[in-house]
Amino acid sequence: MKFTLSWLNDHLATKATLDDILAHMLKAGLEVEEVHDPREALKAFTVCKVIAAEPHPDADKLRVCKVETVDGTKQIVCGAPNARAGMTAIYAPLGTFIPGLDFALDKKPRKIRGVESHGMMCSTKELEAGEDHDGIADLDASIPLGTPAADALGLADPVIDFEVTPNRPDWLGVQGIARDLAAAGAGRFIPHEPKKVSGSFDCPVEIRLDAPEACPMFAGALVRGVKNGPSPDWMQHRLKAVGIQPKSLLVDVTNYISFDRARPLHVYDAAKLSGTVCARLGRKGEALEALDGKTYTVTEDMCVIADDSGVIGLGGVMGGESTAVSADTVDVFIESAWFDPLRTARTGRATGIHSDARYRFERGVDPQSCVDGLNLALALILEYGGGTASKANIAGSISARAEKVTFYPADVERLTGLVVRGAEMRRILKDLG
């Protein structure tokens, strides 16, 4: 499980440094595997300003650029088609290791087709900060000369990667991590209760549960008139930091909530749905062309999501290509369901599918999060994609957890050897929720 420090701060009010947070994680039982600080990886790279860009005298595709850098004005030969006077870019001085190319620049100026070049201007792919390699990074002109590249690219945020034990599915969301760190004394937990989105029309998509033992609850809602463009920059930065490539607003919202609240969701292009959406067991002879481009044989013990046309998803594992959202999606149906962990795990093993949804559902998603997850998704989609939401359509229910647990304070010292005062016990238990 990965998260960034700024993401954690959305849920944890703290003045703790990165080292303090790591110490508190160890105290709380969260075993840190790796910490990646992009500021360290990109410390040699800074923002530069291109003063002039003239054609190379001996190469049609090269430009000789006059560049203002933190090291003074430099001459840099550049092959990027977008190199031009007036642009703001990223400068790598001589001797710098370029991570995306896996080599270091010479420590002395080298001649490129007879013209000396004193450094390099980089693409985001060459910095391992994006996928764009068609040209050098073209930054906002308002970014000051000399700004560290990590800050300019929105990457100045340490990424913490830690091992999640199977009995702690709440650690698969940043909110759950923050709650435990607050209890460990790292700061104050910030509760974010999703506001109920009041729909303006009845949801036209009917939901039916034919296998409540596999899917006891399914909440859904429709958003009409959504614009499925790019997600906001802050969301894209966070997803990239944890290894998720942004795709579109609708997909990114589901991935974001999965990592933020440990609540998997799925979205369907409503125009591609046919009739009632049903959670049921698979039938002999059925198959699914999944979102990973592969076709899977469905067995009779798998939980599937189906409409009148057939199987459109493997419950808790992966959706199908036939109802996938795209840039042309205008009406979207959002699924927030709860799937049986054991059945989800068996389906995952049988198909060999490894997905973030499977990883969470087979460990156990909070049964009470169906409606909250749906409301959070609706709020984000409406805020960034517009449209009009329907009322929620909820099929089935999940029994509320017991509110009271018998706890004997004397057992703390007897079992652990630790002496904890009563007031401190109450604080810790309260912080844990």
Q: What percent of the chain has pLDDT over 90?
A: 82
Structural domain includes residue 340:
yes
Structural domain includes residue 200:
no
Domain containing residue 229: CATH number: 3.50.40.10
Q: Where are the alpha helices (DSSP H) in 58-138?
A: none
Instruction: Return the bridge partners of 66, or none.
Output: 52, 75
What digits encode the pLDDT tens for the residues 152-171? Answer: 988 878 999 999 998 899 99
**Collapsing DSSP states into helix, strand and coil, what is residue 78?**
strand
Q: Are residues 234 and 314 in the same domain?
A: yes
What whole-number distance in Å separates Cα of residue 170 and Cα of residue 8? 14
Q: Shortest CA distance to 340 belongs to which of 162, 217, 258, 166? A: 217
Neighbours of 355 (CB within 10 A): 20
Q: Are residues 424 and 290 in the same domain?
A: no
Q: Are residues 329 and 385 in the same domain?
A: yes
Structural domain includes residue 201:
no
Q: Are residues 426 and 326 in the same domain?
A: no
Q: Are residues 54 and 173 in the same domain?
A: no
**Collapsing DSSP states into helix, strand and coil, what is residue 227?**
coil
- Judged against a pLDDT cut of 90, whether residue 30 lies above it is answered with no
What is the average pLDDT across 325-341?
98
Q: Are residues 214 and 269 in the same domain?
A: yes
- Judged against a pLDDT cut of 80, whether residue 130 lies above it is answered with no
Domain containing residue 84: CATH number: 2.40.50.140
Burial class (CB in 10 A: 0-12, 13-18, 19+), 356: middle
Q: How many domains does the chain have?
A: 4
Q: How many helices (H) and strands (E) does the chain have?
A: 12, 26
Indicate the pLDDT class of residue 402, thresholds 50, 70 and 90.
Answer: low
Indicate the pLDDT class of residue 87, thresholds 50, 70 and 90.
Answer: very high
What is the average pLDDT across 63-78?
98
Q: Are residues 356 and 317 in the same domain?
A: yes
> Are 228 and 332 within 8 A, CB to CB?
yes
Query: What pLDDT is attached to residue 118?
Result: 98
What digits encode the pLDDT tens for the residues 133-150? Answer: 789 999 999 999 999 999
Q: Shortest CA distance to 265 belongs to which of 250, 277, 276? A: 250
- Judged against a pLDDT cut of 70, whether residue 371 lies above it is answered with yes
Structural domain includes residue 270:
yes
Domain containing residue 181: CATH number: 3.30.56.10
- Rg of the chain over Cα atoms, rounded to whole angstroms, equals 26
Query: What pLDDT is attached to residue 400?
Result: 67
> Residue 260, by phi and psi: left (phi above 0), alpha (psi -120 to 50) or beta?
alpha
What digits encode the pLDDT tens for the residues 176-201? Answer: 999 999 998 999 999 998 889 999 99
**Collapsing DSSP states into helix, strand and coil, what is residue 117?**
strand
Q: Are residues 233 and 381 in the same domain?
A: yes
Q: Are residues 313 and 383 in the same domain?
A: yes
- Judged against a pLDDT cut of 70, whether residue 128 lies above it is answered with yes
Q: Are residues 32 and 163 in the same domain?
A: yes
Structural domain includes residue 305:
yes
**Token output for 370:** 């169906």
**Token output for 135:** 């040209």
> Are 303 and 283 within 8 A, CB to CB?
no
Which DSSP helix (H) or strand (E) runs through 39? helix 38-41
Low-confidence winner among 2-6, 39-43, 222-226, 380-384 (lowest mean pLDDT):
39-43
* Pairing outcome for strands 207-209 and 277-281: parallel
Q: What DSSP string describes 284-348?
A: TT-EEEBTTS-EEE--TTSEEEEETTEEEEETTTEEBGGG---TT--SEEEEEEE--HHHHHHHH
- Judged against a pLDDT cut of 80, whether residue 131 lies above it is answered with no
Structural domain includes residue 324:
yes
Q: Are residues 144 and 168 in the same domain?
A: no
Structural domain includes residue 194:
no
Best-predicted range by mean pLDDT (32-36, 115-119, 428-432) = 115-119
* CA 104 to centroid of chain Cα atoms: 31
Instruction: Return the bridge partners of 337, or none.
Output: 218
Q: Are residues 377 and 417 in the same domain?
A: no
User: Residue 72 is part of which domain span?
Assistant: 46-152
Structural domain includes residue 300:
yes
Looking at per-residue pLDDT, the higher value among 265 and 194 belongs to: 265
